[in-house]
Amino acid sequence: MAETLNLFRYAHFAQLPEPYRDLGPGERAERIERARDCLGDSTLILGHNYQHEEIYELADFTGDSFSLSKRARDAEVENIVFCGVTFMAETADILTGGERNVIIPSREAACPMAGMAEMVQVRQAWDDLTQVLDPDEIVPVTYMNSYADLKAFTGRMDGAICTSSSADEIFEWALDSGRKILFMPDKHLGHNTAYDLGFRDEDWVKWNPWHPEFGGTSREAVEDARFILWDGMCQVHDRFSLEHVAGMRERYPDGEIIVHPECPREVVDAADFAGSTGQIIDFVHEAEDDTTIAIGTEKHLIEHLQRNTPEAKQVIQLCGDACLDCNAMRQIDPNYVTWVLEELVKGNVINRVRVDEEDREWSRVALDRMLEIGS
Ligand code: 13P
Ligand code: SF4
């Protein structure tokens, strides 16, 4: 099959049936509870930390993408309802060997960053790079925020997947092998991780997959670099700037600023801490009373922390009202969750995410490497 650009992998969006469109919070809470009672232990609901309040509060387990993937792998259930984005549901299908019904309530929940490294572009980049380098000199390290075909490519090329909480350890593993790292698709996470490990500007080049000439860089620069950073990013995190950090420092000179490592390098550098969504939650839990903590990440997570943190600590958004919610995560509307659960009660599996056998096998190689190395 010819490879083409294909951002939405799940083209057949099942429309939410009419009777579910106008359910209010009270009615759907009751219906969800009833459906869960019927389904009992057969069904696990996983929720990413960026989900709506309603979903976050009803999920059996919430967490960052690393912890959710482990939960999915170890779940001895028939159905996993994954309230997150499609690459996370794909990962759950891969790690459960296709033996569970992994359901995403809405298939429109597609992370734009995952769509920024498409296989047709990655193959072109690999062909270009291996004109200059021996294939044994490069190792792909791919962010969890990617589709299964790229994860499979990573496995085939003896690379590994990482999440924001395991990136340091995976980069160290890759560097120990003496190879250059081709990191896809988030340039900021790649940049921040390399920087953490002591590398500086002369050690990386940026690869622009839309540039017609050798990724917009040169053969010499690639030969000299330790890292080739794919030019992708998350629009939610890319908008944080040094002005936001400076404004917060002025208003709260004793406050703490914590950000997600998908933020630009200068923002991470100016912050007090950067970590995955799970590590951000841990930081807030462990902070002393009377601390003001400004957080630079997707706004639902900050709202969960504002609701659930004792009043003695103040949790605020790093960029005030300008903080964004993630449009992909937002597609998981609670009415969709009601629908897929009630259909499961009737024995119908809606919106199951299935990765093809070969991609599943090779992605698993790259994911297992992450799970072995990452803590
Ligand atoms: P975490 O792995 O930190 O949960 O991040 C996932 C994500 O998509 C951040 O934008
Ligand atoms: Fe993707 Fe950014 Fe949303 Fe995370 S916050 S799922 S990286 S678009």
Q: What is the pLDDT of residues 218-249, one digit of tens each?
A: 999 999 999 999 999 999 999 999 999 999 99
Sequence-ordered alpha helix ranges (H) in the chain:
25-39, 53-58, 65-74, 86-95, 119-132, 148-156, 167-176, 187-196, 219-224, 235-238, 242-251, 265-270, 277-286, 299-308, 334-345, 357-373
CA angle 153, 165, 306 (to 5 degrees): 130
Site residues for ligand 1, CB cut-off 6 Å: 49, 64-66, 145, 163-164, 234, 260, 262, 276-277
Mutate which of 49, 65, 263 for ligand 1? The one with the most ligand atoms within 8 Å of its CB, which is: 65
**How far is 115 from 7, CA to CA, in rounded Å?**
5
Contact 95, 344 (CB under 8 A): no
Can you give the pLDDT at residue 3? 66
CA-nearest of 208, 235, 227, 183 to 121 is 208
What b/e readout covers 175-206, taking b as 16+ CB neighbours within 10 angstroms?
beeebbbbbbbbbbbbbbbbbeeebeeeebbb
Taking all residues of the chain, what is their mean pLDDT, rounded to a whole number? 95
CA-nearest of 322, 346, 314, 348 to 241 is 322
Mutate which of 277, 280, 327, 371 for ligand 1? The one with the most ligand atoms within 8 Å of its CB, which is: 277
pLDDT tens string 326-338: 999 999 999 999 9
- What value does the mean pLDDT take over residues 15-24? 93
Can you give the pLDDT at residue 320? 84
Nearest-atom number in ligand 2 for the CA of 113 is 1
Can you give the pLDDT at residue 322? 76
CA of 185 relative to ligand 2 center, distance in Å: 12
Second CATH level (architecture) for the domain 6-111+328-360: 3-Layer(aba) Sandwich (3.40)
What burial class does residue 321 get, using C-beta atoms within 10 Å of its C-beta: 0-12 exposed, 13-18 middle, 19+ buried?
Answer: exposed
**How far is 37 from 183, CA to CA, in rounded Å?**
44
Which residues contact residue 147 at a Cβ distance below 8 angstroms, ignoring those fewer than 6 apart?
9, 86, 87, 90, 114, 115, 118, 119
112 lines ligand 2 (CB under 6 A): yes
Where are the domain boundaries for CATH 3.40.50.10800 in the chain?
6-111+328-360, 237-324
What burial class does residue 356 get, using C-beta atoms within 10 Å of its C-beta: 0-12 exposed, 13-18 middle, 19+ buried?
Answer: exposed
C-alpha atoms less than 13 angstroms from C-alpha of 157 in its C-beta half-sphere: 29
pLDDT tens string 50-97: 999 999 999 999 999 999 999 999 999 999 999 999 999 999 999 999
- What value does the mean pLDDT take over residues 122-130? 97
Contact 332, 83 (CB under 8 A): yes
Backbone Cα Rg of the chain: 21
148 lines ligand 2 (CB under 6 A): no
CA of 62 relative to ligand 1 center, distance in Å: 12
Q: What percent of the chain has pLDDT over 70?
A: 97
Its CATH class, for the domain covering 237-324, is: alpha beta
Q: What is the pTM of this model?
A: 0.96
Quick check: helix, strand or coil at residue 196? helix
The yes-or-no verdict on residue 1 having pLDDT over 50 is no
The yes-or-no verdict on residue 7 having pLDDT over 70 is no
Handedness of CA 260, 194, 147, 371 (dihedral sign): negative
**How far is 281 from 44, CA to CA, in rounded Å?**
22
332 lines ligand 2 (CB under 6 A): no
- What value does the mean pLDDT take over residues 258-278? 98
Can you give the pLDDT at residue 189? 98
122 phi and psi angles, rounded to 5 deg: -65, -40
Its CATH class, for the domain covering 114-234, is: alpha beta
CA 41 to chain centre: 27
**How far is 114 from 99, CA to CA, in rounded Å?**
24
Contact 373, 173 (CB under 8 A): yes
Can you give the pLDDT at residue 15? 79
The yes-or-no verdict on residue 2 having pLDDT over 60 is no
The yes-or-no verdict on residue 6 having pLDDT over 70 is no
Strand duo 256-259 + 204-207: pairing: unpaired
146 phi and psi angles, rounded to 5 deg: -155, 160
CA of 235 relative to ligand 2 center, distance in Å: 8
